[in-house]
Structure 1
């Protein structure tokens, strides 16, 4: 029994090309009615037909079984259980299909030969034996119900088989079902991590770059051509692989057995990948439908561990486990917990069944081919890592659009000696570079800001540490910052357990990323704050205004606001960080508040997304750590947003906004606890920011109105009067009232907080909020202002608008020029981080751990600091402010400065003070008093500072006993591990540190009893015996536990704030933007060059129309349909020639597009939910009625009359049951020289294939104003 389908390009005789190759097609269907008609059509119209067809339906719930029976006949369709896997279905079909012999295929013993010139069988002039073609080679052609072979696919596969007799398995090139030029596979391999490796880029287009016949590790089971003897030798697909990775395992086994696997790229098939892309359920891998990702993961692990040779097995197993854990973490971060679970379940499903793996390895044996010969067929080492990195990089790097690429580096090249027509074009092209900058000013903006900042910060780029103003020097390594933040005991002054400021953790995190350099981190946050703030403002303003030039102006103006430059000059780290993050926070706040939602969307139930809320909460946490005032500002703005929604009657948004605002405001308080609790208990501290309290002159009310908070390099607010006026003018715009009102609400809130801050601290943070809001309002008001003003009659509006525009445009330019000339330095400078003489800092590292008492202040108010090491460091100011008052030390310093005349040396020695330093600028009376104080000796006087030394022995840790001098004991900064001699009974160990419950000490492993000495110092009862002494501080378990919880909560917020991983279900569909715009012609620009190019294009089109009758308005050539066997030209040319009519959605009321993606039915958007398809997702019969019959008026809309035989309904292919050898035609009347077909066919009608403009790349996005914005920039 053989099958020879009538094909549009079939041979004139009944003998196929490559006659010794006998092909049995095996088609497996499972809920594939959506794709099955085209798959059957592709099978039945092959140029080189198959000799037999057998189909297996695995319990389809749709019309797949009926479609198979109608097309192939009931006797050719097997009905199997729904849980039958693909390999099991193929095995059953192969077992059922007999091996065809000469009785079934008579031409196997026919005399004659194939004439390649006429592409026909010639019976004349040949004298050949009984089997002139040699012994027949039996092949199995495996087909999916969602793959459609091209008409010449089988011929190309057999051509490769004929050229390579040793080939046992041959595979086709797979293209996408929907995007006909997108490559899916040209051979496949598997990485050591289990990744399916195709070697293709994402959405790579087929341009013939992979069209070489070559050996590969594996080919896809969709279209696989495998010799039947090899299939039976290897036992077919492994039953443990019900669906996925079965092809890789089978081909790997074939390679190990010495067989050759080739890829034949001339054979092309279109594959929908319905199961892997979740377009239908997977029922063969469990008791119920499972996720295909889990099936693929289990198949990958099984394939690797079953086929890897012994020496490499431990390495591969370890890599699979580690890679699974990393991918699980990546899926969790990408907010795809389902796939994370699939990774773990898929791995454990294989590893927990070692018996199956061992049995599989025994069945495979050792193989006949050494692994070294197969190694080139696997991905090279590191290929998967490089591919992942390239994909991540490509997601963040955009590609130049076509318009920009057209005027690239050589876009303006012209021939020498331009004529009259070329001269104007050449003159215009001289401005191409300026146009490109105007179209994409982002990179140029960052470069300009960076150059200006480097020029202004020229004195801040040398050696030394950044310090001065509000900034204290930082420790050189990130580990010091981590220790300060994570430790519960802080060795500052006499020590304490106060909470460290959380911004130290942020600095430590960035310093860790920057190779542990805290200096580089501070340089990035301070010196680079101006260009970074400008760049973030530019990109954050994208949804605000369309004009890139307006965005660039607003970004430059924001970067050079007095608060931003003043923060850099005064070392205000908190304000500098706020300047960088504030534009991004404003964009996230607008999205979280739903400002982009219209009234109609709100009425439809659309609500703001949670991701923007969590992103805003994360950034608010960071800024609150540096500038706590941002939290109350956010609180007020949240209340304003709620009140505004309530005033507009949008009560449906109140509950969603309340939940989002609660998450927004609670998150910083939780993540920053316990430090944040001090802000709630002392609200006045919210006006502080990171660093030393650096007081400046209070700004006036006019300065605040003009965006100047006062202080070094923060003046010149009068330059920004144009910005304020532009923001006021925006209130006159009749459109975009919501955005302008929101901007002004934020501006008023920022101004109010600036007034509050101005009386107590620097008003820079609130002024930044005020300035950014004004710039946003000004940019919104300026967009399209020229058209609005031009539409009104000439009057006062035109000159006033011109003056405001001139003042606003000049403001950032003048501010940048002034800042660059004057320099960015102020109190902030590069200096030696040591605040004490070098020898004093060196002594502080010895076992005595001596300290220095630093004095400053005025006659009326004395300030002091008890310094360890080389001086105070970043974060010490907040720790000192949070420390409990030390009244005993206050009394010692007061008596010392007052000059009581008593010996102060012993009292200072009790605090381990060895040196007293009067800083530069301290009152002269300090020097006179300290010179006359007993127990102190002047050491030096340099750079305006004065130094005295305490005469008494000084040590941080001493042994004291009655009637004896203290004995010093060597110790570290906190801990001590040393030996102590024996001594009298009743002695005590004294520490010059405050008493706290965490202190512990032991002598030879025996714990010592803690005591409090002198009312404040930590001590221990020391026995008379000597031994090894160990002293330390135990971190409370609650503190360590909270740090872990804090890190986990931070990770959760980061994950929630990150964009989710894009699902790959419809990755092969055409871009939605291009598909939506495919039927909308793009409008040309209105410029002079655009008109010239349009005229040239019109002339070229007219010339082409003159050569093409169809384009010139003549009746187009008829699109030929399927040819009859009695056609004299039958087989002489392809079935479809000439130009096809473009698809017109209006001409087809049914809306059918043969290359459109699957309809978005149901919550998952792919036509099914759970294990069953939604009601109404498919028409009965598995095809769209529009596919079968053209709508009325179709021929008028398209310009083509329907081809004969296309008017009727869809007619399924039918194979009526016939006995073997039955000839449906009387002898001599079959048009085949009396040979006939072993299986007859009636005349088949095939539906027309409309042209899809999206199939070869979507059109550019449509914009009502053409390819350019009003400012001349391109849309992106």
Structure 2
């Protein structure tokens, strides 16, 4: 129905990256999914060099990270935000450990880290919240330290730098991030289609759950490692404390449900980004514990350390074997696949821009539960779910009345919104089909193995002219705008969500605009003649220009500055 929502920045990042493949974004996404396990493993391996010189231990730990429940579920269900978090997350942790004394870090490093976190926030605001949580915890410790050793100047310096680290990524994602602040629940949502997670119980097992995730009995070793590391006297305890905090946060968030763009009913939250940082903490804690442990255990008598070490190693090996077996068997039938068929029949996609109401049974529940969405001549594309508007109440009511057989005026409502066809995809309950056939205003066009198509009676064009006598006539209109002719005085109705940027200009003047009974924009035409329908994007372009300036400013601050002449040697100057 048209959307004025700001597009998330990750769409622009993918568009820029697809230039490497001559603009083939689908090829970029396909290669990313194929390479994701290796990239996840490489990212973890690169930071483990700082914790162990044992290459076998580093490779094993990196492999266990790539086989973690959150990694397998993210790849299987197409969770783009969590996959990016799995890759960038270890690098974020590496740099976060360097700013424990944040006042000693240069501003160049602060802005470089903010730029990296900004990229992460563009794909997953949930991951940004996880990083911001670490900053807040660090700020609390700064306040406690300042109370013991009062130093107002040092305190201001620390808090200023931490504030910049939190605020800069939000500014980099402007205006999308500020729009999310008006709907705080959406800050926790994953990009793309709203697919339910597994709930808080599975989150305690470091398993996000949901479609494409491993079963609960394939228990991850992460909770066991974190529990063991809590009793360690090494720095593994610090990682364990952070990991347990993220398990708690994930468990709490997993019990929440928020509706995403275009949805009226919320699904249990996917907490993959929170569990990613818990998994990273578990891997780092495990490496710190196991590094050099063999020599230590060999030089001491048998005690509880031998039992705990054996428990960690045994649980890791058992999980790795179970995860690989599941991935090659049951897990191969994942929601993400290369040969997925189209939802819409081919003949409905011949005319781009034609609206079709698609009704299908909800997967994973009983056949009496239905989902619907409005297509414009094609299936949903990358980024569409993140900008989809909330369905108008009139359409929600019309769809309910269609399937229960009481919608005598439903065809009038759908035609007012420019919906020309109704497509009910198989498999579907026959009683719903009989209900639509029994209603007036719907003419069955076809019935195939894919489903059944009905044509909606009435004028279902995007732009409709209604004369003073009440006769309605459809006017051909381009999806972005149009320039056409008005046959006389009357009302022009546009089948798009009402937005202040829609304008019709005739004889050099803007026509008066108001909302009709369905909440759609309509314009009063008084003269015969040519007119132009446009959508004024001045404000949007201004916000994008401001975002570009912010990005360029942060990039300049993050890049090395030219040295002063006083810093150069005599040989360089001569």
Q: Pick one of 491, 494, 497 that aligns with 1:994.
A: 497
Aligned partners of 1:897 and 1:789: how far apart in 2?
Answer: 69
Aligned partners of 1:590 and 1:1040: how far apart in 2?
Answer: 38
Aligned partners of 1:1023 and 1:564: how far apart in 2?
Answer: 61
Paired residues for 1:772-791 under 5 Å = 772-791=280-299
In the superposition, relative to structure 1, how do residues 747 and 963 fare at CA in structure 2: closer, same or farther (>3 Å)? same
The number of residue pairs the alignment matches comes to 553
Aligned partners of 1:774 and 1:540: how far apart in 2?
Answer: 14
Aligned-pair CA distance for 1:904: 4.2
Contact 2:200 2:251 in 1 (8 A): no
Paired residues for 1:379-528 under 5 Å = 493=1, 495-528=2-35
In the superposition, relative to structure 1, how do residues 838 and 646 fare at CA in structure 2: closer, same or farther (>3 Å)? same
Aligned partners of 2:404 and 2:222: how far apart in 1?
Answer: 55
Q: Pick one of 658, 668, 672 that aligns with 2:169.
A: 668
Is residue 457 of structure 2 the alignment partner of residue 951 of structure 1?
Answer: yes
Aligned-pair CA distance for 1:1031: 1.6
In the superposition, relative to structure 1, how do residues 824 and 534 fare at CA in structure 2: closer, same or farther (>3 Å)? farther
Q: Unaligned regions of 5+ residues in structure 1, if any? A: 1-492, 596-605, 1066-1162, 1172-1276
Contact 1:746 1:773 in 2 (8 A): yes
Aligned-pair CA distance for 1:1041: 1.8
> For each residue in 1:213-244, what CA deviation from the matched residue of structure 2 results, as whole angstroms up to 9, or x when unmatched?
xxxxxxxxxxxxxxxxxxxxxxxxxxxxxxxx
> For each residue in 1:108-128, what CA deviation from the matched residue of structure 2 results, as whole angstroms up to 9, or x when unmatched?
xxxxxxxxxxxxxxxxxxxxx
Aligned partners of 2:187 and 2:225: how far apart in 1?
Answer: 32
Q: Pick one of 93, 100, 121 that aligns with 1:624.
A: 121
Aligned-pair CA distance for 1:962: 2.7
What is the match of residue 358 of structure 2? 854
Aligned-pair CA distance for 1:647: 5.4
> For each residue in 1:540-578, what CA deviation from the matched residue of structure 2 results, as whole angstroms up to 9, or x when unmatched?
333233333322222111111011111111121211111
Is residue 154 of structure 2 the alignment partner of residue 751 of structure 1?
Answer: no
Aligned-pair CA distance for 1:582: 0.7
Aligned partners of 1:1057 and 1:548: how far apart in 2?
Answer: 33
Is residue 376 of structure 2 the alignment partner of residue 896 of structure 1?
Answer: no
Contact 1:912 1:992 in 2 (8 A): yes
Aligned with 1:759: secondary structure? coil
Q: Unaligned regions of 5+ residues in structure 2, if any? A: 257-268
What is the match of residue 276 of structure 2? 768
Aligned partners of 1:692 and 1:732: how far apart in 2?
Answer: 41
Q: What TM-score comes out, normalization by structure 2 length? A: 0.86
What is the match of residue 91 of structure 1? none
Aligned with 2:4: secondary structure? coil
Aligned with 1:836: secondary structure? coil
> For each residue in 1:834-890, what CA deviation from the matched residue of structure 2 results, as whole angstroms up to 9, or x when unmatched?
4321111113x3xxx43111224678766432221213222222323xx35623333
What is the match of residue 336 of structure 2? 828
Is residue 545 of structure 2 the alignment partner of residue 1049 of structure 1?
Answer: no
Aligned partners of 1:733 and 1:892: how far apart in 2?
Answer: 61
What is the match of residue 512 of structure 2? 1010
In the superposition, relative to structure 1, how do residues 671 and 733 fare at CA in structure 2: closer, same or farther (>3 Å)? same
Contact 1:960 1:967 in 2 (8 A): yes
In the superposition, relative to structure 1, how do residues 594 and 786 fare at CA in structure 2: closer, same or farther (>3 Å)? farther
Is residue 159 of structure 2 the alignment partner of residue 658 of structure 1?
Answer: yes
Aligned-pair CA distance for 1:584: 0.8
Aligned partners of 2:280 and 2:48: how far apart in 1?
Answer: 11
Aligned partners of 1:572 and 1:975: how far apart in 2?
Answer: 34
> For each residue in 1:435-458, what CA deviation from the matched residue of structure 2 results, as whole angstroms up to 9, or x when unmatched?
xxxxxxxxxxxxxxxxxxxxxxxx
Aligned with 2:422: secondary structure? strand
Aligned-pair CA distance for 1:823: 4.9
What is the match of residue 542 of structure 1? 49
> For each residue in 1:626-646, what CA deviation from the matched residue of structure 2 results, as whole angstroms up to 9, or x when unmatched?
322223322322222234456
In the superposition, relative to structure 1, how do residues 607 and 970 fare at CA in structure 2: closer, same or farther (>3 Å)? same
Aligned-pair CA distance for 1:908: 2.6
Aligned with 1:527: secondary structure? helix
Aligned partners of 2:432 and 2:150: how far apart in 1?
Answer: 67
Aligned-pair CA distance for 1:942: 2.8
In the superposition, relative to structure 1, how do residues 992 and 617 fare at CA in structure 2: closer, same or farther (>3 Å)? same
Q: Aligned Cα RMSD in Å? A: 3.3
> For each residue in 1:639-688, what CA deviation from the matched residue of structure 2 results, as whole angstroms up to 9, or x when unmatched?
22234456566776644432222111111222223322343333322221
What is the match of residue 1156 of structure 1? none
Is residue 213 of structure 2 the alignment partner of residue 706 of structure 1?
Answer: no
What is the match of residue 531 of structure 2? 1029
Aligned partners of 1:613 and 1:506: how far apart in 2?
Answer: 22
What is the match of residue 792 of structure 1? 300
What is the match of residue 483 of structure 2? 977
In the superposition, relative to structure 1, how do residues 730 and 855 fare at CA in structure 2: closer, same or farther (>3 Å)? closer
Contact 1:1000 1:1007 in 2 (8 A): no
Is residue 109 of structure 2 the alignment partner of residue 608 of structure 1?
Answer: no
Aligned-pair CA distance for 1:954: 2.9
Contact 1:708 1:767 in 2 (8 A): yes
In the superposition, relative to structure 1, how do residues 713 and 1035 fare at CA in structure 2: closer, same or farther (>3 Å)? closer
Contact 2:443 2:454 in 1 (8 A): yes
Aligned with 2:523: secondary structure? strand
What is the match of residue 968 of structure 1? 474
Paired residues for 1:1089-1238 under 5 Å = 1164=567, 1166=569
Aligned-pair CA distance for 1:775: 0.7
Is residue 56 of structure 2 the alignment partner of residue 555 of structure 1?
Answer: no
Q: What TM-score comes out, normalization by structure 1 length? A: 0.40
Is residue 140 of structure 2 the alignment partner of residue 639 of structure 1?
Answer: no
Aligned partners of 1:732 and 1:582: how far apart in 2?
Answer: 25
Aligned partners of 1:970 and 1:1019: how far apart in 2?
Answer: 16
Aligned-pair CA distance for 1:531: 1.2
Aligned-pair CA distance for 1:831: 4.0
In the superposition, relative to structure 1, how do residues 901 and 910 fare at CA in structure 2: closer, same or farther (>3 Å)? closer
Contact 2:421 2:456 in 1 (8 A): yes
In the superposition, relative to structure 1, how do residues 926 and 796 fare at CA in structure 2: closer, same or farther (>3 Å)? closer
Aligned partners of 2:322 and 2:108: how far apart in 1?
Answer: 39
Contact 1:987 1:1023 in 2 (8 A): yes
> For each residue in 1:169-202, what CA deviation from the matched residue of structure 2 results, as whole angstroms up to 9, or x when unmatched?
xxxxxxxxxxxxxxxxxxxxxxxxxxxxxxxxxx
Q: Pick one of 371, 380, 384 that aligns with 1:872.
A: 380
> For each residue in 1:933-987, what CA deviation from the matched residue of structure 2 results, as whole angstroms up to 9, or x when unmatched?
1121112223352211123343212221133532222211121133x36x44x32
Aligned-pair CA distance for 1:610: 3.5
Aligned partners of 1:1164 and 1:717: how far apart in 2?
Answer: 60
Paired residues for 1:364-379 under 5 Å = none
Paired residues for 1:174-193 under 5 Å = none
Contact 2:180 2:186 in 1 (8 A): yes
Aligned partners of 1:994 and 1:797: how far apart in 2?
Answer: 65
Aligned partners of 1:856 and 1:1048: how far apart in 2?
Answer: 44
In the superposition, relative to structure 1, how do residues 896 and 744 fare at CA in structure 2: closer, same or farther (>3 Å)? same
User: Which structure's relative contact order is higher, taking Cα pairs within 8 Å and 6+ residues apart?
Assistant: 2
Aligned-pair CA distance for 1:1050: 1.6
Aligned partners of 1:698 and 1:645: how far apart in 2?
Answer: 34
Aligned partners of 1:731 and 1:907: how far apart in 2?
Answer: 61
Aligned with 1:996: secondary structure? coil
Aligned partners of 2:232 and 2:371: how far apart in 1?
Answer: 56
Higher radius of gyration, 1 or 2: 1
What is the match of residue 1271 of structure 1? none
Contact 2:246 2:278 in 1 (8 A): yes
What is the match of residue 838 of structure 1? 346
Contact 1:937 1:950 in 2 (8 A): yes
Structure with the higher fraction of residues in helix conformation? 2
In the superposition, relative to structure 1, how do residues 716 and 852 fare at CA in structure 2: closer, same or farther (>3 Å)? closer
Aligned-pair CA distance for 1:615: 3.4
Aligned with 1:893: secondary structure? helix
Contact 1:709 1:715 in 2 (8 A): no
Aligned with 2:98: secondary structure? helix
